[in-house]
């Protein structure tokens, strides 16, 4: 067998690539309406950018990062997510010196060594946003609304917005202690990772992919009983703003998210479907109060989310939302002899300069095979030039839909097609 792509990666060819581009273009347009500007950062970072911020005991850091030593002996990681990398750039470029809040969006590939399954890849693309600056629960609601609206604006219907508050660090420390005690009696029956998690970070047991759905997890103490008054009030305000916006959501007390940096508000949009995508998140995000301080002693809170483009594409394909994608050629030019071919080349270039998609056959002279090509390209018009047309500066134009056929001057071709 010849060369094969790396497991968990994909090639996007033609229409598939067009779909991915369309999704990100639409998202970028919505982001601009919400006041975001684009940021492009490298796909690799120094490993420590992710280790502390994403969390030393998270699955992402312990098992999923593509980390290697470069030729200078530095530890480099292909970014597994955007938030920590954007935070690094925000700090390094001293964006905190600017007035007001900073709203940034990014799009690009992420890398995680995850178990391959439907909708889960080792290289996948995220469209993500981050907002830095002091702002209250109204911003959280606005950002959640934005994430939800991104899906809706693309036509995706079957998703549920789940929200939760995971409180501040002190609430979570108390909760961790309670979970340690609660799981202490039964941890022997859990997976090997959970056995380590009970000491390192018991919250992780709640979103373990292996032990998911177990009674003990479902009946575990709820984080909501450990939130302090400030976090409760904050979350109530977020819900109030969402209610005001008329956005449907479900409060899911088991939603803790797989990355350590979150504080208070977290949210996900979950896929409802009759296949293996059911239950997967398409959007995930939340507030992170301490990341910038922990990384660079800058006391600015952040909030953000990321949406997976491959999952969006799968959902849109399932719901037939690409069916109107018009990829057809507008004009196919046929030259029936060597000299007429030269004319078709010139005309094709004139059409393209005017933004008209024009294609031609470079080699074949036979009408039959050129008609076949035109059919394969789904051409709306076929412009035929043989000796007679060439000598009279004319073109024989056939509308493939109505079958109407006319002869017009070559100079009028653009005007006619437009």
Contacts with ligand AMP, residue ranges (CB under 6 A)? 81, 112, 114, 119-121, 124, 126, 258, 281-284, 306-308, 310-311
| Closer to ligand AMP by Cβ: residue 55 or 284 | 284
| Closer to ligand AMP by Cβ: residue 126 or 344 | 126
User: Least Å distance between CB 194 and ligand AMP?
Assistant: 19
Which region holds residue 159: left if phi is over 0, alpha if psi is between -120 and 50, else beta? beta
Contact 125, 107 (CB under 8 A): yes
| Closer to ligand AMP by Cβ: residue 306 or 348 | 306
Alpha-helical (H) ranges within 55-99 are 59, 83-92
User: Least Å distance between CB 264 and ligand AMP?
Assistant: 16
| Closer to ligand AMP by Cβ: residue 137 or 258 | 258
| Closer to ligand AMP by Cβ: residue 202 or 258 | 258
Question: Which residue number has the CB closest to ligand AMP?
Answer: 308
| Closer to ligand AMP by Cβ: residue 121 or 371 | 121
What Å distances lie between residue 405 and 17, 67, 315, 373, 397, CA to CA? Answer: 35, 62, 41, 19, 6
SS (H, E, C) 11-38: CCCCHHHHHHHHHHHHHHHHHHHCCCEE
Cα–Cα dist 294/307, whole Å: 25
Cα–Cα dist 34/52, whole Å: 30
Cα–Cα dist 183/185, whole Å: 6
User: Least Å distance between CB 162 and ligand AMP?
Assistant: 11
Cα–Cα dist 61/51, whole Å: 6
Q: Which 8-state DSSP code applies to residue 261?
A: T
| Closer to ligand AMP by Cβ: residue 284 or 301 | 284
User: Least Å distance between CB 146 and ligand AMP?
Assistant: 15
Backbone phi, psi, residue 113, to 5°: -80, 80
SS3 state of residue 145: helix
Return the H-helix or E-strand segment holding 268.
strand 265-271
- Residue whose tokens read 């060439």: 390
| Closer to ligand AMP by Cβ: residue 234 or 267 | 267
User: Least Å distance between CB 176 and ligand AMP?
Assistant: 21
Q: Do the bridges between strand 37-38 and strand 331-335 make them parallel or antiparallel, or are there none, so unpaired? A: unpaired
User: Least Å distance between CB 63 and ligand AMP?
Assistant: 12
SS3 state of residue 384: strand
Burial of 16 (0-12, 13-18, 19+ CB in 10 A): middle
| Closer to ligand AMP by Cβ: residue 20 or 384 | 20
Q: Which two tokens stand for residue 133?
A: 């600056």
């Amino acid at each position: 067998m010849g060369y094969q792509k790396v497991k968990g990666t994909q090639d996007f060819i033609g229409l598939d690539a067009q779909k991915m581009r369309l999704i990100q273009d639409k998202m970028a347009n919505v982001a601009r309406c919400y006041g975001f500007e684009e940021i492009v950062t490298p796909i690799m970072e120094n490993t420590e950018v992710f280790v502390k911020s994403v969390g030393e005991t998270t699955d992402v850091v312990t098992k999923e990062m593509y980390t290697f030593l470069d030729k200078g002996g530095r530890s480099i990681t292909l970014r597994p997510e955007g938030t920590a990398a954007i935070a690094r750039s925000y700090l390094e470029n001293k964006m905190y010196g600017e007035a007001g809040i900073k709203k940034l969006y990014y799009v690009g590939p992420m890398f995680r060594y995850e178990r391959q399954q439907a909708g889960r890849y080792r290289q996948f693309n995220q469209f993500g946003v981050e907002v830095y600056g002091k702002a209250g629960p109204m911003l959280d609601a606005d950002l959640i609304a934005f994430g939800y609206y991104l899906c809706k604006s693309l036509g995706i219907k079957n998703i549920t917005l789940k929200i939760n508050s995971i409180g501040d660090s002190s609430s979570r420390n108390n909760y961790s202690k309670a979970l340690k005690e609660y799981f202490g009696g039964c941890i022997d029956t859990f997976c090997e990772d959970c056995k380590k998690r009970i000491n390192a970070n018991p919250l992780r047991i709640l979103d373990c992919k292996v032990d998911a759905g177990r009674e003990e997890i479902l009946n575990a103490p709820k984080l909501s009983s450990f939130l302090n008054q400030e976090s409760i009030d904050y979350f109530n305000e977020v819900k109030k703003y969402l209610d005001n916006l008329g956005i449907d959501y479900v409060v899911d007390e088991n939603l803790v998210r797989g990355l350590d940096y979150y504080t208070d508000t977290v949210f996900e949009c979950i896929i409802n479907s009759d296949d293996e995508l059911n239950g997967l998140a398409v959007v995930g995000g939340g507030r992170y109060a301490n990341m910038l301080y922990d990384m660079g002693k800058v006391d600015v809170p952040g909030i953000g989310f990321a949406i997976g483009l491959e999952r969006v594409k799968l959902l849109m394909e399932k719901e037939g939302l690409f069916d109107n994608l018009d990829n057809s050629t507008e004009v196919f030019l046929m030259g029936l002899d060597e000299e007429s071919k030269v004319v078709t080349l010139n005309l094709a270039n004139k059409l393209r300069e005017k933004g008209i998609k024009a294609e031609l056959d470079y080699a074949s002279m036979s009408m039959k095979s050129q008609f076949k090509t035109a059919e394969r390209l789904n051409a709306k018009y076929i412009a035929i030039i043989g000796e007679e047309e060439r000598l009279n500066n004319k073109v024989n134009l056939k509308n493939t839909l109505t079958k109407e056929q006319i002869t017009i001057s070559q100079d009028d071709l653009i005007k006619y097609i437009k």
